[in-house]
A = this chain, B = another copy of it.
């Protein structure tokens, strides 16, 4: 966070907020990975932990919004510092929603494994989208930590890949359900998990866009730039 101010105390306050956002990011990233483990092997205890961690994430959201408000009042940030605070206020919301989606995956995993999954190799169906999304989230948090606009810009194109994979999962699951209606409940659980993963991808994309807003000083949300980037969107 390179500001145009010169107060060490002010730098310290900005840095404290930033490190709390990164802490929150680390928690939701772990929540997501743990939730996917629950979905894969049905560890009910871990599922309950993912759901319980949501409280911690929610408390961090409220505390961080409060810290941003106080900073605005005390420091009256301008230019780059203000963009950082604005972006932080938005990123906090995305992180909290990622925590919500992870908790949903954990709850669905409990349902699925509690009932005994029938017919669908549920984890294999979502393996690709889960890996792509977990990488994207990790890279988005990394780009935020290092304020790396270039990395953030590359990430945005990944979201289209995730959306494409989601549609492919949906088509496959419809085929399964049609061939054997006994798979419908498990297939729907798998579909909700895929949808939650796809949402986490959306939130990771939002975070990347806010990084660009901080670094470049321009808002690329909803612009053509955000949707027409590399030739080869997956490495």
A residues sitting closer than 8 Å to B (CB atoms) are: 55, 58-59, 61-62, 65-66, 68-69, 72-73, 76-78, 82-83, 86, 89-90, 93, 170, 174, 177-178, 181, 184-185, 188, 191, 195, 219, 221-222
Kindly state the separation between the CA atoms of A168 and B78 in the bound complex, as whole angstroms: 50
Distance of A61 from chain B, by nearest CB (Å): 7
B178 engages A222 (CB within 8 Å):
no
**A177 is contacted by which of B68, B181, B195 (Cβ under 8 Å)?**
B181
B222 engages A58 (CB within 8 Å):
yes
The residue on B at minimum CB distance from A199 is B199
Chain B residues with Cβ under 8 A from A66's Cβ? 219
Which 3 A-B pairs rank lowest in CB-CB distance, beginning with the nearest? A58-B222, A76-B76, A178-B181
Chain B residues with Cβ under 8 A from A76's Cβ? 72-73, 76
Chain B residues with Cβ under 8 A from A188's Cβ? 170, 174, 191
Distance of A70 from chain B, by nearest CB (Å): 9
Do A86 and B69 contact each other (CB < 8 Å), given the known contacts A174-B188, A181-B181? yes
23 pairs of residues in contact across A and B, judged by CB atoms under 8 Å:
A55-B222, A58-B221, A58-B222, A59-B222, A61-B221, A61-B222, A62-B219, A62-B221, A65-B219, A66-B219, A68-B86, A69-B86, A72-B72, A72-B82, A73-B78, A76-B76, A93-B93, A170-B188, A174-B185, A177-B181, A177-B184, A188-B191, A195-B195
Distance of A137 from chain B, by nearest CB (Å): 19
The residue on B at minimum CB distance from A62 is B219
Kindly state the separation between the CA atoms of A227 and B188 in the bound complex, as whole angstroms: 28
The residue on B at minimum CB distance from A206 is B93
The residue on B at minimum CB distance from A83 is B69
Kindly state the separation between the CA atoms of A90 and B88 in the bound complex, as whole angstroms: 12
Chain B residues with Cβ under 8 A from A72's Cβ? 72, 76-77, 82
